[in-house]
Amino acid sequence: MNLDPTKMKDWEIAEAAEQHMKTVYQLGEELALEKEELLPYGHYVAKIDYARAMERLKNKPSGKYIDVTAITPTPLGEGKSTCAVGLMEGLGKRGKNVVGALRQPSGGPTFNIKGSAAGGGLAQVIPLSKFSLGLTGDINAIMNAHNLGMVALTARMQHESNYTDEQLAQRGLKRLNVHPKSVEFKWIIDFCAQALRNITIGIGGRMDGFTMQSGFNIAVSSEIMAILAIANDLKDLRERIGRIVIAYDRTGKPITTEDLEVAGAMTAWMVEAVNPNLMQTVEGQPCLIHAGPFANIAIGQSSVIADKIGLKLGDYLVTESGFGADIGFEKFWNLKCRFSGLKPNCAVVVATIRALKCHGGAPIPRPGRPMPEEYNSENVEWVEKGTVNLLHHIETVKKAGINPVVCINAFYTDTKNEIEAVRRLCEDAGARVAVSEHWLKGGDGALEFADAVIDACNEENDFKFLYDLDMPLRQRIELITKEVYGGDGVTYTPEAAKKAEAMEKDPELSKLGTCMVKTHLSLSDNPNLKGVPKGWKLLVRDILTYKGAGFVVPVAGAISLMPGTGSDPAYRRIDVDTTTGKVKGLF
C-alpha cells in the first residue's frame, strides 16, 4: 500500500487499508484462539468469549504490560491512541507478539470536535466506521441498562405517589420513600447534548410520571461503564450492578438497584457486552476494544477483562489511559491496577511539540478553528518553557515506582532543534526518550519507540500505590492534589464537605477508591492555566457515590458530566456514499 498521510485524510487511509484487512478468523488463528472462543460480528470484527478463553489460558504466563499516557493535552489531544497503535506496529516490526487494548470511542467526540480516537495516519485501528459507529453495541447496552434503572426508579416514585401502602402491598411493593432531591442517577445518551443537562420530567397528569428535576449525562460517564471497565467477569459485573446506589430515601438511607428489583434486568443487557471486541491495526496487529473514554469525567480506561485476556494472548500488551498522567495514569495506577491486581512493566508519556509550545506561551488552540500560525514555525524557547509540564508528568509516573519512556509524537512540521531540546531536558530528568514517526511511517517510524519500550520492560520496577484505602477520603484528595496536580490544597463547597464527612464515617464508603473528576486541559481545575500552575487550591463542589464500581467520585471545578457540542462539529463533514454504503469524513 502506498499511503501518504500528508496528502490523505484519515478516513481515506483507513478505507484503503481495509482492502487488505485480515479476517477475524485469521486474527483468531494468529492469537491461537479456539473456534468456540471467537464470536464473529461479520468478517472483520468479533468478540472473544472471555470466560471460555481465560479458563483455558489461566495457567499461561502473562506478557509485558505497557500503559500509554500523556502530558496535559491541547484541546486537540496529544495522540495517545495514535502512539499506542504506533507502538503496536513498531513492536510488530521487531517481530514481537503484541496485542493492544484500547477504549471504544463515544459518539459524543466522534460527532463533535475531537474525532473517534481510532488513531491517525498510518497508525489506526480498522475498520474505522465500525470502530466509530457503535461497534458491536456495547455502549448501546450500557445506555439501555442504565436508563432501565432510571425507568424503574421513576415508575416506582410515580406509583408510590399515587397509591397507599395497602395498594402498593397488593401489587407486591413496599414503599421506598425516595427523596426526589436525593436522586443520584440521571439519564444518559451518547452525544454531547448540553440542552439535556437540566430538564424537568413527569410533566402532565398523574399517569405521566413523578414530576421532578432531572437531566442527562454522557453515556461513558455512567457507573455501568465504570463497572464494565473494572469487572473481572460476568458474575462480578452482576454483583456490582446490584450495589449501585440510584437514590436515597427521606431518612438518607441508600436505595440500590436491588431494592428496585431491576439489577438482574440491567445485567441482562450487558451479557454480550462483557466480552471484549477484536479488531486490528492498519498493519494487522490484533487490538481489543473494550470500555470507554473520558478520564476527566470517568475512569477512562480500557477494561480489566481486555487487559487480562490480552496479556495471555500476547507477549506484550499495550493499553492506554485517558488524557494526561494527572488524570488517566493516576486512575490506572491507583484504581485499575488495584482492582485488577496487575502490575505494569512500563509507562509511556506522550508529548507533542505543539502542546509543549502551548504550555510554553504560544496561543492556545481552539477547537473548530485553524491552528494558530505560530505553531508552524520553530520556537525552541516556547518548547523549553513548556517542557516543565512534561517533566511534571514524568515525576508523577516515577511516584508509582516506574521510570517512564517519553515518546515525542513527531509531526512533519517539528524541527530538529525543537526535538533535541525536549530529548535533552527529559534525559537530564532520568527518563528514556524516543522520537516516533508512526503517523507518517507506521511501524517503520516507531522502531526507536519500540526499542525503548522493550528495554524498559526488561527492567524491574518498584510499583506502588499513592495511597492506602485506610486513608480518610479528604486526606486522599489532598494527597492527589499536592502530589499529582501540584496544588497547594483543597477547598470544598458546603454540600461536598458534608458528603465527605458522612462518607468518612461510613464503614463501607470509607474503603472505596477515589475517582477524581477534573478538567484535562490543565493540571489545576482551571482549564486556562497551562504549564505547571502554582499557588492554587482544588475546589471540590460535589462527591458522587459509585458503590457498584467501588469508588467515590469527587467533582472538581466547573466540569460537567455532559459535554457540549461546539459550533463546528465533525458531523458537518460526515456522510455516506450511497452507492457503496461506505461512511466518509470520519477522523
User: Which of these is catalytic: 439, 449, 536, 551?
Assistant: 439
User: Which of these is catalytic: 53, 231, 247, 295?
Assistant: 295
Amino acid in position 566: G
Per the annotation, the verdict on 96 as an active-site residue is: no
User: Which of these is catalytic: 211, 411, 423, 582?
Assistant: 411
User: Which of these is catalytic: 64, 96, 103, 308?
Assistant: 103
- Burial annotation 260-282 (CB, 10 A radius, 16+ → b, else e): bebbebbbebbeebbbbbbbbbb
CA distance 40 to 37: 10
Per the annotation, the verdict on 411 as an active-site residue is: yes
Question: Radius of gyration over alpha carbons of the chain, in Å?
Answer: 24
Per the annotation, the verdict on 82 as an active-site residue is: yes
Nearest to 515 by CA among 554, 480, 545, 483: 554
How many CB atoms within 10 Å of residue 561?
22
Per the annotation, the verdict on 80 as an active-site residue is: yes
Per the annotation, the verdict on 323 as an active-site residue is: yes
Q: Are 97 and 316 in contact (CB under 8 A)?
A: yes
Look at strands 64-70 and 46-48 and give their pairing. unpaired
Q: Are 102 and 293 in contact (CB under 8 A)?
A: no
CA distance 110 to 11: 13
Which residues neighbour 175 within 8 Å (Cβ) at sequence distance 6 or greater?
A: 160, 165, 168
Per the annotation, the verdict on 295 as an active-site residue is: yes
- Burial annotation 314-324 (CB, 10 A radius, 16+ → b, else e): bebbbbbbbbb
Per the annotation, the verdict on 536 as an active-site residue is: no
User: Which of these is catalytic: 64, 96, 114, 499?
Assistant: 114
User: Which of these is catalytic: 72, 74, 82, 481?
Assistant: 82
Q: Are 121 and 10 in contact (CB under 8 A)?
A: yes
Q: What are phi and psi of 51, to 5 degrees?
A: -60, -45
Per the annotation, the verdict on 253 as an active-site residue is: no
Instruction: Please report the sign of the dihedral spanned by the C-alpha atoms of residue 305, residue 143, residue 218, residue 75.
Output: positive
Q: Are 534 and 494 in contact (CB under 8 A)?
A: no
Q: What is the DSSP string of 72-87?
A: SPPTT---HHHHHHHH
Catalytic residue positions? 80, 82, 103, 114, 295, 323, 411, 439
